[in-house]
Amino acid sequence: MNHSDNVQAAATLSVPEHDLGISSEPFEVTAELVATNLNFGGGQLPDEMMSTVERIWLDTDFTWPTTLAVTRIMLSVEPSPDTEPPQEVWSRVSILGTGWASDRPVSLTWNNAFGFPGASIALPAAQPNDNGFFGIDVVMKTTPRRHSDFVWEHNNQLVLVAQQKDEAGQIEHSAAQRAIPPHVIWQWAR
């Protein structure tokens, strides 16, 4: 088997979800974090509006809209000489949610995960705090995939979907963020 055959074999491997080493870690949600990740006319919130966000933050009667945002994506590489390519790549994705009911978990899923069963990967649930906010880092091992198999079109890139169901099992709140780069679940292999 030559080098390109090794890469092809690794790139076509479909890894079950339980082999991805998926874990999660909650992080503290602050007014500054929310303000930094708010969009204002397509850009970030101007600094002079931060005091408004802080006042709203303290107002327990204010209802935040149901939102979901990826605030940071980090990739780390560890040597793995016995694999092709000879490395393991881990992704850490920071996810922020606002406007969720505090008494139930929020389910999280990667959609458009082509190559996984149902083109989807279930992630650990997030638990909103008393104010309806959650912050969670999801960590997972990426799967080798040939660069020619990456999907770059906006509507076909990863979609992070969050849903919260009521007591009857009906979806009460939902939000999604589109166009997440495929590197979150796929390790680029030539």
What's the pLDDT at 92? 97
Does pTM surpass 0.75? yes
Number of domain units in the chain: 1
What's the pLDDT at 104? 96
Q: Are strands 87-98 and 134-141 parallel, antiparallel or unpaired?
A: antiparallel
- Residues in the chain where the model's pLDDT stays below 70: 1-18, 39-45
Give SS3 for 6: helix
- Residue 61 Cα distances to 96, 127, 169, angstroms: 21, 20, 27
Q: Alpha-carbon distance 105 to 74, whole Å? A: 25
Closest CA to 86 of 6, 1, 2: 6
Q: For residue 39, how many other CB atoms are within 10 A of its CB?
A: 10
In sequence order, the β-bridge partners of residue 118 are none
Domain of residue 36, residue span: 3-189
Extract the tokens encoding 58: 């303290």
Mind listing the pLDDT tens digit for each residue in 124-137? 999 999 989 999 99
What's the pLDDT at 12? 42
Q: For residue 134, how many other CB atoms are within 10 A of its CB?
A: 24
Closest CA to 94 of 189, 188, 3, 184: 184
